[in-house]
Structure 1
């Protein structure tokens, strides 16, 4: 079991409140991702769950047991850090088995656990190397292996891919998703990269300034955001926000995804000039500067060409648009 519940959890540093009454449930076997901009409190919240930060008020419960005052080493939680945190003088084998050794686990059990984790992570040929002899991706796999051998109730990942290059991030992301399926373990993953959140999560928790803005499945947040913050944060490129009054509509803001804008050089609803063009092979992103709505992003699938500084016309698909009030809250119905 690995069910986590947070009940009105807060965290203050002196007079500064950084976590402001978070309520959250993470089910056994679920992959939950905390996502939000830098400084929103996601890593602080993760560290409170791990016991590395004290909880100012509220309760942290693991399988129904309150663990606020339980020492980190006794919480049955394993954490994978952004910086790997490997001991440079120990081999891969020794790094992976160190936690079990400190718990007094029999040597034969340590060997069996490390060999099983090494096989899962394709680390078998590297077991006698030291961290300095490994690539960044290999070091991260060792850090993940060190967590696996402990068979914890809950895995915590604190931006584990941020130090890797683009290709390694994709490969390691796929490995983490595979491990989740194989282990069936409860995992909480912190990232500021919404692409990681969308591709890994069963459940996404969107945080802003220490508060939960919305919780839901990835495509639910994409297709049904509660407010302009979630709508703008989830999705890449981000949603366009148009002034509804300028379009003759009776609310404040019209939100429209880049793929739901049509672009033409012959006529349309909103006139603008092409500011920049990004040809990515499988898709083309055209940035259009308009007088009333600022910079709009149009996504077209395939290869397209629009002259920079040329006049174009953009038309939103109203059937795919979102309506928001002056406070940024979603208008439904």
Structure 2
């Protein structure tokens, strides 16, 4: 069954068109991530789905029903925001129970749902604490628990990990992935972090300037990007783009080489000067000035000993390269 269907959805604020003809389908139990740079429209699109913003045109269907005129509370969705939005005077249990009480659910059902969510999120020891007594990661789990107890048709996450430090982000990311497997729920997750997108998503939607650039699984986007924008955005470190003139075509094309596919040594088709070295332990990123607009990044696995100022050659396998026209389209 289709959990969400967007057909030709547009959104304008005055004369500014923020979303442009968005068509998208989210299947039941699918984890879909909206990713793109700041200002691309991903959070606005999530708010249109939630009903917090009205679509200027097009249709929004949730669970087979058109909901354009349906208020947020009646759409069968639950939303987790970047800010935890917890009531400071209520306990963890009180925060999770509030929406259910307002909806008129019986007390025993509320208790059962909270107990179940508490077990899933390891919140049992904290149910009687208030938000001020919790860590940032625990508060975010409470916000997620408040969404779980509603048994929604669709979970919406708006950059929920942005306020957490790196270690907590990774731990909470794992918790969200495990939660999706346990609930088999349909989830839409907004982030600007392509690592979150790659590690969480069944399907990634890449947005730019209010348009969908490409939709596909993480590996489909990584291995077969539709254009230069997707190729550069998906992957860390970012794909290198080397100006080139392809045989039989006009000048202005680019060859894309992923950092992990570059081989360093004395010889190579490209040569340059090492300008910076990032020693990460498990691997080493070597940034090389080859005379392009920005340094070429090569990823050497393991601990690679080289210093800035060294002259080095770069070789690569042409079969693993991508080519793009001057307009950014994949050739």
Pairwise TM-score range, normalised by the shorter structure = over 0.9
- 1:283 is the counterpart of 2:283: yes
What is the distance in 1 between the residues matched to 2:248 and 2:112?
66
Deviations 1:157-189 (A, max 9, x none): 000000000000000000000000000000000
- SS of the counterpart of 1:3? strand
Say whether residues 1:62 and 2:62 are aligned partners: yes
Q: Gaps spanning 5+ residues in structure 1: where?
A: none
After the TM superposition, list the runs of 4 or more consecutive aligned residues in structure 1 that deviate by more than 4 angstroms: 247-251
Kindly state the Cα deviation for residue 200 of structure 1 after the two structures are TM-superposed: 0.1
Aligned: 1:131 with 2:121: no
Report the equivalent of 1:178: 178
- Name the CA distance, whole Å, in 2 between partners of 1:142 and 1:271: 53
Matched, 1:255 2:256: yes
Per the normalisation by structure 2, the TM-score is 0.97
Note closer, same or farther for the CA distance 1:248–1:297 as it changes in structure 2 (3 Å cut).
Answer: farther
Aligned to 1:299: 299
Is the Cα–Cα contact under 8 Å of residues 244 and 250 in structure 1 kept in the other structure?
no
Q: How far has the Cα of 1:319 moved from its partner? A: 1.0
Deviation at 1:33, TM superposition (A): 0.1
Give, in angstroms, the shift of residue 262 of structure 1.
1.1
Residue number in structure 2 paired with 1:7: 7
Shift of 1:293: 6.2
The answer (yes or no) to whether the contact 2:267–2:315 under 8 Å persists in 1 is: no
Structure 2: which 5+ residue stretches go unaligned?
A: none
Deviates more, 1:111-120 or 1:266-275: 266-275
Q: Which secondary structure state, in structure 1, belongs to the residue aligned with residue 260 of structure 2?
A: helix
Deviation of the 1:268 alpha carbon: 1.6
- Number of the residue aligned with 1:194: 194
1:151 aligns with: 151
Aligned residues, how many? Answer: 329
User: Which residue number corresponds to residue 321 of structure 2?
Assistant: 321
Q: Is the 8 A contact 1:60 1:67 kept in 2?
A: yes
TM-score by length of 1: 0.97
Contact 2:10 2:55 survives alignment (8 Å): yes
Which residue does 2:107 correspond to in 1? 107
Change (3 A) 1:52 1:31: same
Q: Does 1:32 align with 2:32?
A: yes
* In 1, Cα distance between equivalents of 2:30 and 2:268: 46
Matches within 5 A, 1:180-259: 180-245=180-245, 250=249, 252-259=253-260
